[in-house]
Structure 1
Amino acid sequence: MRSLLIKSPRQLFIAAILFLIVLAVAVFAYQYTWQSPEAIVKINVTNHGVSLPDGFFLYQHLSAEGITIKSITSDSDSLIISFNSIEDSHAAEKVLKRILDNSYRIE
């Protein structure tokens, strides 16, 4: 019966390469699986002719509620508000739904 031990330098090299590949796949899978969801809220306009809300207006209302904002950026047709935590993003969604009318979709 043949031994499963590595007997030549070539076998050692191949085993090392395979180990590194498996390690890289495991690290990628771990990061992908345990990556926390992004703490963002996206505001889109639902009706044509309605402009996006002012970022400073939103900042004032969210700050008054004790919600910490990381950044507010505009995309082509939306505003993206980033937060430090998922809890802040959920709280912000509730506040934004209260202060903005049905012309806006909050995700």
Structure 2
Amino acid sequence: MRSLFIQYPRQIIIAAILFLIAIAVSVFAYQHSWQSPEAIVKINVTNHGVSLPDGFFLYQHLSAEGITVKSITSGSDSLIISFNSVDDSHAAEKVLKEILDSGYRIE
């Protein structure tokens, strides 16, 4: 009597590949479902000729309001501010809308 592996090697290999794919998809879906929404605020310039605000200036204002800033990075025509929580990012949006004029779009 021959073993099953010798009789049906192609089916076992296909089943193993499908099993590995299913595990990979499950792990990705699990990680994605537990990620919190991004806690960032993006500042864009709406008018040409207007420069981005100074990151340290923004940091000082946000810190004075008790908002903890994780990082401030500049992108192409934008400034991205990261926070530890979504609540901090919502609070920062309110503060930034108060201190920045209409030449900036805050997302």
TM-score normalised per structure 1: 0.85
Letter in 1 for 2:38: E
What is the number of residues matched between the two proteins?
101
- Structure 1 outlier segments of 4+, above 4 Å: none
Q: In 2, Cα distance between the equivalents of 1:36 and 1:62? A: 22
Q: In 2, Cα distance between the equivalents of 1:76 and 1:13? A: 48
- 1:75 corresponding residue in structure 2: 75
1:82-93 maps to which residues of 2 (within 5 A)?
Answer: 82-93=82-93
Superposed CA offset, 1:27-68 (max 9, x none): 112222332221110000111111111111100000000100
Percent identity of equivalent pairs: 82
CA displacement at 1:17 relative to structure 2: 2.4
Q: Which runs of 5+ in 2 are unaligned?
A: none
Q: In 1, Cα distance between the equivalents of 2:55 and 2:98? A: 16
Q: Which runs of 5+ in 1 are unaligned?
A: 1-6
CA displacement at 1:90 relative to structure 2: 0.6
CA displacement at 1:101 relative to structure 2: 0.9
